[in-house]
Amino acid sequence: MSIGPDCLIGARVPDFKVELIDGSKYSNENLKGKVSVINFWFIDCPPCVAEINGLNSLVELFGKDKINYVAFGRDPKSDIESFLKNHVWNYNHISGENNIIDTIFKLYWGYPATFILNKQTEIIYTASGGKSDSTASEELLNKLIPILKNAEENDDL
């Protein structure tokens, strides 16, 4: 029996300090006070790319006022910048050059991985893996929208 990311529910996001690909500083402190959607991905991962439209739909549905959106990419900054020229993705992006996925988050599960955090930076939802076809975004939204709506109803947003 393998242990999946659900074992992280209730844990706080680890402390980190990094630079976004736009050069601005970012840390776990930026996540406090808002619900956060965090996605771990890499360019050559078909399921990761397939769910980008769904992740963007979350921004359209819920806005950025009450939710943080962060994508931790395994790839170097220059590769992510090139990728984003052809793929709109309305999240804050952290590149693999920060080495945060391996050293801080120690992500051992499949990609993509998505975490939702409450306002206190506690992990309230995890998912790992996904589809690489046209149903990927819909499947992602079917999982995440109810969680975010529940947070909204409970005044967590």
Per-residue pLDDT of the chain (157 residues; tens, 9 = 90+): 334 466 677 778 899 999 999 999 999 999 999 999 999 999 999 999 999 999 999 999 999 999 999 999 999 999 999 999 999 999 999 998 878 888 888 776 789 999 999 999 999 998 888 888 888 999 999 999 999 998 877 766 5
Strands 25-27 and 17-19: antiparallel
Which one, of 11, 21, 3, 14, lies nearest residue 95 by Cα? 21
The ranges assigned to domains in the chain are 9-153
Residues 95 and 11 sit within 8 Å (Cβ to Cβ):
no
- Separation of alpha carbons 157 and 153, rounded Å: 8
pTM of the model: 0.91
**CATH class label, 9-153:** alpha beta
Cα–Cα–Cα angle for 124, 116, 72, rounded to 5 degrees: 140
